[in-house]
Structure 1
Amino acid sequence: MALEALNVLGFQHCVRLERWNLERKRCGYGLRLTSKRWEKQVSTDGEWCLCACQATLHNDGDAASLVGLRPVDGEPKKELIPLPRPLSVTDTAGSPSYGSQVRVAYQGVPGAYSEEAALKAYPQCEAVPCEEFEAAFKAVELWLVDKAVLPIENSVGGSIHRNYDLLLRHRLHIVGEVQMAVNHCLLVLPGVAKEELKRVLSHPQALSQCELALGKLGVIRENIDDTAGAAQIIAAKRVRNTGAIASARAAQIYGLDILAENIQDDLDNITRFLILAREPIIPRTDRTFKTSIVFTLEEGPGVLFKALAVFALRDINLTKIESRPQRKRPLRIVDDSNNGSAKYFDYLFYIDFEASMAETRAQNALGHLQEFATFLRVLGSYPMDMHM
């Protein structure tokens, strides 16, 4: 790639880049990175870990802004942001950051709503994309990242069951939550009009949440693994008759135009994310905390009622109840004297309640629950997100 075609920067947050590989024949060029706090000179083959909000391309003292550079041949393109390679479940290479910058894993590609949630939780973090939810869990366990931010429920689409199962499979701790309003945007290549669209790509949930808007367009809907991935495909393949439903940030990253914003059927579309870490945080009582647990119960009349009563007796508010069949033991066989044996699903119960584990009432409630629970695990006690 010739330097004139280099599309760089516009970073709103610091990111880690592995290496710039510029053409050897252009070795006289370099990058000067500037911010209010520091300036660093690097060579064309140099390795650097932090970038600032501004940069200049220079050659023998003649500087030219990298923002808005034209390709060698073709029309001007929107400024694009260099993208990191997503981690996979088999990825054990790399090393975590031991500096002050927090590395946070999320599922998807840059521009995903999960990335926005990570940046909301840690504005100066390095957001690390992962191909799958499980890859994000493993990235934390293997010390490739410091934390992971993953969706757990949506006000329209409901619970993300895969992540409930992974919470039990992995030994990570919930250390926080993020609640974020979803703004679905219709993205297209620059200059494309609505009348040109024949199909729209996005995640199945995003497509279903924009049913009315897509119905008016009369387009074919095509499922993609994630919303930002749909924007990435359109930008890479340069398809003019295809749009994507994704975030406004995805439009900025992939150089796309926003034809319409907030096209979801329900404008109050909220997704709740969990922040996961290797170690729990110390619960406190000076602010509102939430505690998440998972447990199993013996089969019998009123057992679930008794389990929930331990919280009601202590004026503890339950904010979430989710049940999942146990994978290793999906069926429970119960003797019935009249008709032989009956088979029931054996369930795990996930509960969120408003109390800190530093409070005596929460400790007493879980102690009471242990009297008839066959299994109990605290997934985390963490501050509630009180801001949208």
Structure 2
Amino acid sequence: MTQPNASSGTSPDRTIAFQGRPGAYSHLACREAFPDLVALPCHSFEDAFAAVHEGAARLAMIPVDNTVAGRVADVHHLLPRGGLHIVAEHFVRVNHHLLGLPGASIEGLRSVESHVHAVGQCRQFLRRHGLQAVVVADTAGAAQDVASAADPSRAAIASRLAGELYGLVSLASNIEDAEHNTTRFLVLAREPVDPGPACDPVMTTFTFTVRNRPAALYKALGGFATCGVNMVKLESYIDGAFTQAQFYADIMGHPTHDSVRLAMEELRFFSHSVEILGIYPAHPFRAQIG
């Protein structure tokens, strides 16, 4: 069995943290986006944030959205108060593999283990083959458990990388139901890295809290429409008293661009607070789906 890379003795400047066990899709994102950095597995998203805060890692790779499962709720609540800055984004096409022991076959399987989202994303395949799904904490953990059990009747749904790390073979590839299954990741750092207004295309991510007045949100966002600024994402958070909402937004453009500057001025007029979480280059994947 190939052992996952360890980060012991590696300089924090050459380390990127992620949530999950080695072989998770977040680990795969780290390898794709930063092949020269050593990936540091963390138990929770909070631990991955802390690794950057405390200097154990230079960056963190954090999932925020999936085209099938939707937003990663825990992360959306961590981002506004996490104290880190978004410096890049990365998209990973989720290709689920049915992983088993060498010599195992689909016909000989009794159970298939994986995270609840991975199981849900492969329902048609599981039903077609009459396979019983067992929900576990994460995809890479499922692969590790199957490898440790050495039972050819057990399999896992996980990434190709997980199979490589834990000595499993792919009994079937690309078993996800939706061809568009893609996860968006944000790369976080302690300090902001502004690519400058000449960067094209560029993303700006921010949070804002509107005043508790009728049509406040409509008025706050009006400037983006009149100035022709493309808002590609808008999420809401409710405060503890249910009296006003905080919002998270992604827009195309740099804050110093005239159109964005004017739109942000109008936003601030109708908001209690506006906080920029990051200005970073748009990933080339956006051009493919635009």
Is the TM-score greater than 0.5? yes
Mapped contact 2:10–2:38 kept (Cα < 8 A): no
Task: State how far apart, in whole Å, the 2-side matches of 1:182 and 1:358 are.
Answer: 35
Corresponding position: 1:259 with 2:181: no
User: How far has the Cα of 1:299 moved from its partner?
Assistant: 2.5
State the partner residue of 2:216. 303
- What aligned pairs does 1:180-329 form with structure 2 within 5 A after superposition? 180-284=92-196, 285-326=198-239, 329=240
Task: State how far apart, in whole Å, the 2-side matches of 1:84 and 1:309 are.
Answer: 50
Match of 1:171, as an amino acid? G
Corresponding position: 1:104 with 2:16: yes
Q: Quick one: structure 1 residues 210 and 300, their matched pair in 2 at CA, closer, same or farther if it must change by over 3 Å?
A: same
Corresponding position: 1:156 with 2:68: yes
% same residue:
38
Task: State how far apart, in whole Å, the 1-side matches of 2:199 and 2:146 are.
Answer: 48
Task: State how far apart, in whole Å, the 1-side matches of 2:85 and 2:202 are.
Answer: 15
Task: State how far apart, in whole Å, the 2-side matches of 1:282 and 1:235 are.
Answer: 44
Corresponding position: 1:84 with 2:9: no
Match of 1:263, as an amino acid? I
Secondary structure of the structure 2 residue equivalent to 1:374? strand
- RMSD over aligned CA atoms reads 1.7
Task: State how far apart, in whole Å, the 2-side matches of 1:96 and 1:325 are.
Answer: 41
Match of 1:197, as an amino acid? L
Corresponding position: 1:137 with 2:49: yes
In structure 1, the gaps of 5 or more residues are 1-78, 86-93, 333-345
Which among 218, 232, 247 is matched to residue 349 of structure 1? 247
Instruction: Choose 274-283 or 216-225, whichever is displaced more.
Output: 216-225
Secondary structure of the structure 1 residue equivalent to 2:49? helix
Alignment coverage as a number of residue pairs:
285
Secondary structure of the structure 2 residue equivalent to 1:120? helix
CA displacement, residues 165-215 of structure 1 (integer Å, 9 cap, x when unaligned) = 000121100000001111000000111111221111111100000000011
Task: State how far apart, in whole Å, the 2-side matches of 1:271 and 1:282 are.
Answer: 24
Task: State how far apart, in whole Å, the 2-side matches of 1:362 and 1:226 are.
Answer: 40
State the partner residue of 1:124. 36
Secondary structure of the structure 2 residue equivalent to 1:304? helix
Higher relative contact order (CA 8 A, sep 6+): 2
User: How far has the Cα of 1:126 moved from its partner?
Assistant: 0.6
Task: State how far apart, in whole Å, the 1-side matches of 2:256 and 2:47 are.
Answer: 32
Match of 1:364, as an amino acid? L
State the partner residue of 1:373. 271
Q: Which aligned segments of 4 or more residues in structure 1 are displaced greater than 4 angstroms? A: none
Corresponding position: 1:331 with 2:242: yes
User: How far has the Cα of 1:287 moved from its partner?
Assistant: 2.0
Task: State how far apart, in whole Å, the 2-side matches of 1:237 and 1:358 are.
Answer: 57
Q: Quick one: structure 1 residues 258 and 96, their matched pair in 2 at CA, closer, same or farther if it must change by over 3 Å?
A: closer
TM value normalised by structure 1? 0.70
CA displacement, residues 40-65 of structure 1 (integer Å, 9 cap, x when unaligned) = xxxxxxxxxxxxxxxxxxxxxxxxxx
Q: Quick one: structure 1 residues 102 and 361, their matched pair in 2 at CA, closer, same or farther if it must change by over 3 Å?
A: farther
Max Rg structure: 1
Mapped contact 2:220–2:268 kept (Cα < 8 A): no
Q: Quick one: structure 1 residues 296 and 325, their matched pair in 2 at CA, closer, same or farther if it must change by over 3 Å?
A: same
In structure 2, the gaps of 5 or more residues are none
Task: State how far apart, in whole Å, the 1-side matches of 2:37 and 2:177 are.
Answer: 32
Task: State how far apart, in whole Å, the 2-side matches of 1:361 and 1:266 are.
Answer: 37
- What aligned pairs does 1:35-50 form with structure 2 within 5 A after superposition? none
Corresponding position: 1:386 with 2:284: yes
Secondary structure of the structure 1 residue equivalent to 2:192? coil
CA displacement, residues 199-236 of structure 1 (integer Å, 9 cap, x when unaligned) = 11111100000000011222222222211111011111
